[in-house]
Structure 1
Amino acid sequence: MPRSSYSLSLSEAKRIVEAGEAKAASIGVAYNIAVVDNGGALIAFVRQDDALIGSIDLAIGKAVTARIFDKRTSDLAAMAQPGAPLFGIEQSNGGKVVIFGGGLPVKIDGQIVGAVGASAGSVEQDIAVAEAAAAAISGPTEGRIRDNDR
């Protein structure tokens, strides 16, 4: 029997991006913000005017990393230090794993439905933007897109 899981919709991803943009504006830094679905596929991305070009791939990578490992990228960073249990993890998945703060899973009712990644400021600012973005989504999973509905 197929399992049913929920994923972010495009309208939800847009709300996440808008909340991230608002937080970025409040700290005065132009941001790259990416949102992926529960399978790690990109569903929304924004590069604010003058956001760092080098942060485009980082924002997307943070979102994908947060989803494929179901962890905040800042948590992975701590676990990937020399002598730590995940040392070298950034070399996995074709070297596309991003292990510094700014990526986190998006959860609804405790279930991961996607992830967000933010990049362009300091690590602390990236985390704050991602957290503000993810906070835009809440509520029950009823009526949301299930994988087997696609």
Structure 2
Amino acid sequence: METTQLQASRAINQAVEKATQLDVNANISVLDSFGHLKSFLRMDNAYLGSIDVSMGKAKTAMLFRMNSEAVGEFLNPENKTYGLVNTSGGLVGFKGGMPIKSQGNIVGYIGVSGGSPEQDFEIAAAGSNI
């Protein structure tokens, strides 16, 4: 399913609203259902270093169709999956990336970086249900 501009805008706007409530300056990436960048916003004063992290979280969620922290469980050293983190151009296995759903269907992926992992999760979650 193709991700529409309206869906991407809705996800970004909902995420920005939550980031503002949490007083977090975040980078927010939205990928379409095929993994291509559909929309991006760097809030004022958001860290430049978090741009790639937000995109990596969204990409990780897209590649496995699950939250980035769930992928992170596979990346734990005790699972003996050495090198997996370096596949597909790099995986980001901590909170802040997840599928965007509309009426129960995945329509895209969101990645957020700029706050703590918990804050990034809350911001992404706010933009994940449109």
TM bucket (normalised to shorter chain) is: over 0.9
Moved over 6 A (4+): none
1:84 is displaced (CA, Å) by: 2.0
RMSD: 1.4
Which amino acid is 1:88 matched to? G
1:107 maps to: 101
1:55 maps to: 50
Count of residues paired in the alignment: 130
1:1-150 counterparts in 2 under 5 A? 6-84=1-79, 86-94=81-89, 96-135=90-129, 137=130
Q: Deviations over 1:71-112 (max 9, x none)?
A: 100111122101226553211012x21111100011234332
Whichever of the two has the greater Rg, that structure is 1
CA distance in 1 between counterparts of 2:82 and 2:121 reads 22
CA distance in 1 between counterparts of 2:56 and 2:93 reads 9
Identity of aligned residues (%): 37
Where 1:92 maps in the other structure, the secondary structure is: helix
Where 2:38 maps in the other structure, the secondary structure is: strand
Task: Identify the structure with the greater helix proportion.
Answer: 2
Question: Is the contact made by 1:79 and 1:87 (CA closer than 8 Å) also made in structure 2?
Answer: no
Q: TM-score, normalization: structure 1? A: 0.81
Q: Deviations over 1:21-57 (max 9, x none)?
A: 0000000010100000110000000000000110001
Please list every run of 5 or more consecutive structure 1 residues that lacks an aligned counterpart in the other structure.
Answer: 1-5, 138-150
Q: TM-score, normalization: structure 2? A: 0.93
